[in-house]
Amino acid sequence: MAYQHPRFDAVRETDPTVADLIVAEAEREAGAVRLIASENYASEAVMAATGSAFTNKYSEGYGGKRYYEGQQVVDQVEALAIDRAKALFGVEHANVQPYSGSPANLAVYLAFAEPGDTILGMSLAAGGHLTHGHKVSATGKWFDAVHYGVRKETGRIDLDDVRELAVEHRPKIIFCGGTAVPRTIDFAGFAQIADEVDALLVADIAHISGLVAGGAHPTPVGHAPVVTTTTHKSLRGPRGAMILTDADHAKAVDRAIFPGLQGGPHNHTTAAMAVALGEASTDDFRDYAAQIVTNAKALGEVLAERGLELVSGGTDNHLLLVDLTPTAIGGKPAAQALDRAGIVCNYNAVPFDSRPPFDPSGLRLGTPAITSRGMGTDEMAAIGHWIVDVVEADGDADVEARVRNEVTDLVAGFPAPGINV
């Protein structure tokens, strides 16, 4: 296959070794069914903007208040990204400079908490994120972290439990959202709890921001004064992040990002973010967001029909969490077998997992990337059956080879956006 991305010929001429690796990665992404919930295919326009001349410019500070000259154009592209983010999500303020999701969350702590303050977030084991106070994260070392989980019987968050913890511990910040939450987040319910204990509610929508933008998931805006998100997952943009706030919390967030945590923003990412936000404002993107959810539900139905157990019984969004505990097959060997078969996902802990984090009992599956390729419910049915076939085969090389061939035939009919191999 020939890789045709803009300016690739310059890479080939200058560094054939790296060029070969780029081609290999492009072919890997195009040749597999990608079910990692935090991955997607950026458009060719987003990828081109990411590799643009904005890479060359250093722009410490904010528009109109930079510490270097030559910002006439950078200020325009950052303002454009900000305006598009504000319009798309209906917020009063947007900071588009965070390098990624974790620095965005760290900025929230810097802006609104002091070391030793109590925070309340979803536990990593139940589907939360490291930066919501996990013990190995700086957020768990610097703050007194308390965690809520899910009900064992339902696999869902019980807001009564969240309220009890909040009333008992009086946190300064409450985080809602996570990395393995297959159900709709009740932002209004969390807001009521935060109001009762005078806590700041922060909605981490890194995974679902594309669904929120496309109207396929309720918005946290109006409930959470501060919203953090990455831009490269369901939003289908470059690898960056944003913090969205009301006017009252804007200044503290901006100061936390710069000069509090970061230096110059990644202007090439800002440009690509502006492109992605423009794409996300279209009717086509709304259709895409709805199809992500439709596909996830369809995939889950096949997996359940074939006997796999789904945490919470299914999904409301882009994500499925499969609990392999009843099969006695570990999530890690299952994920590795699926990778060999051309289906890329990640092993993941499930709530109340009896296995260790590096060899957990679950698989996390997501539909943003395959939906970007134009796949629909018919393809979800085929993929669901392949997943169960491979998992049940438990390392059978013949089954993996058969599925790999069938996957190759399937993806050939659905070009990978932005890859062009």
Residues recognised as catalytic: 58, 60, 204, 230, 233, 239
Q: Any alpha helices (H) in 31-158, and if so which ranges?
A: 44-50, 72-89, 101-112, 138-142
* Encoded tokens for 187: 């932002």
Contacts of 133 by beta carbon, 8 Å cutoff, 6+ apart: 119, 120, 121, 139, 140, 143, 145, 146, 147, 175
- Pairing type for strands 241-245 and 226-230 reads antiparallel
Distance CA 15, CA 311 (A): 46
What distances in angstroms separate CA 256 from CA 36, 252, 314, one per listed residue?
A: 31, 6, 38
User: Helix or strand or coil: residue 309?
Assistant: strand
Neighbours of 127 (CB within 10 A): 28
User: Helix or strand or coil: residue 364?
Assistant: strand
What distances in angstroms separate CA 103 from CA 55, 74, 130, 131, 256, one per listed residue?
A: 20, 22, 12, 9, 10
Neighbours of 201 (CB within 10 A): 22
* Encoded tokens for 418: 């932005």
Contacts of 87 by beta carbon, 8 Å cutoff, 6+ apart: 281
Q: CA end-to-end span of the chain, whole Å? A: 6
Contacts of 66 by beta carbon, 8 Å cutoff, 6+ apart: 59, 60, 74, 75
- Pairing type for strands 144-148 and 118-122 reads parallel
Distance CA 125, CA 132 (A): 12
Owner of token pair 């169960």 = 388
User: Helix or strand or coil: residue 409?
Assistant: helix
CA nearest 49: which of 7, 84, 20, 86? 7
